[in-house]
Structure 1
């Protein structure tokens, strides 16, 4: 086959045609290029692997990834049969709390009620047994769906305190610790409908005197006065010239909360307690009640932590 010959007079025509085609397609090439560049250089939402945030738990040899730690905390701190939106709220609160209290994983955290309880996978299997697969999936889904979400106030991580159930109102940080934090104010909470809302402790006179390190009679106990604060919790217990704070009294007698009453019944001391926990921040039973009413995890957190925002963790390359 003979090679195709192009007449030299046609070359300028082909050049002009190619130039026109290039001008037509060039904007589309740049448009696609810009789109790719914009997507690549946009804000990076990071997980713990990208930011290398690992949590060191007191008593454990190896640190664990942040989100895996959150799974263990939600499993330990909130009943797995709670509403998914309540579990999501707990995940965000737990993630925020550990990042704030450990300076983003720089220091250790105790796996106790003084900080956050943590259950590893073996403990979860032992606790849940036949329901392990169901509960594990449910909690991991709650954590994964909120991955990287944290609570902030004025751009800073908050101290996201939480408790089991309140007495109808949460406690303020001012009443609890003397520190007035704007996002830890007293708010209404619907968890007083929980079936285990009220509990009773019965002590003999000997047990009472031993625990409080006093030498009182039943008549002395009948004269005890309590001073309540504006959320209905006991601020002071006054017995003659002896006085305790509500928090100290709760600790000494191992009570479930500082909302309690004392009375003598049949020569024994009966203490009736309402709610469970210190009462500050999010009520877990309250969160579950709100979730069952159709409120989302973000709405629940906005109710219990006033003036806060929920943001995704960000990390620069």
Structure 2
């Protein structure tokens, strides 16, 4: 850990010189930092004022440190999770204690109530992931989900995409789709690199319901964060739309692309429809390419409803053409 100034620090490998040498000490240092970020006035006084000599900056200190903590948690928590399977029991216990301390600074009251369930899923993912996801889906959120909450939730969701269970993967996609209306977008950004691959995989799932939920989740993400946060997503969807290997892949890509366009708005619809119509009308292209574009006429009307009415004529024509032997 490198102290950059009196009020900021980072745990990034690219910033502190000791690199991985420091990692074994994270589980010991983190609980103390978290207690400083919390509301424990006695601990804050002894550690925050006496050891760190920040008594005159108490309010600003906590605010700035909380922001720094939020930025670091996406990197810290995965390392703590790996510690949970360490061969040394004391190291395991230290990792579990550190995760519990993260839970102690969660401000969202709904998440506070289910912290034990989240911790169980992190410690025993093969048995507890599905139960945790169902609990999250059953929870009625009335408060914003803060960064410490996300730090415990997102690893559970990421793990769910590796599960063989269709229902588990579907629940993971549902949670991601809901998350973007419940939290600050900047807190979600660090998780995109690990979430998007799972959603892409689920979008090509053999089960139609999993594809549908995953497509809606992608649409919600793009709507919440903007197209610039997903530069590689649209090219990947268009490439998969014309996949030669599987009609399931083409269907998933068509549904995903439709939901993403829906997230970007009706102007985006009018911008891409000329390309979709012209490609669907071509007779000099491979059947699988034509098939992918025709599938867009199936899913776009569901997403845009009334806004798609101007294209209904072409939609019916191409749907009839695609059904001819």
TM-score normalised by structure 1 residue count: 0.24
**Which protein has the bigger helix share?**
2
Larger Rg: 1
**Which protein has the bigger strand share?**
1
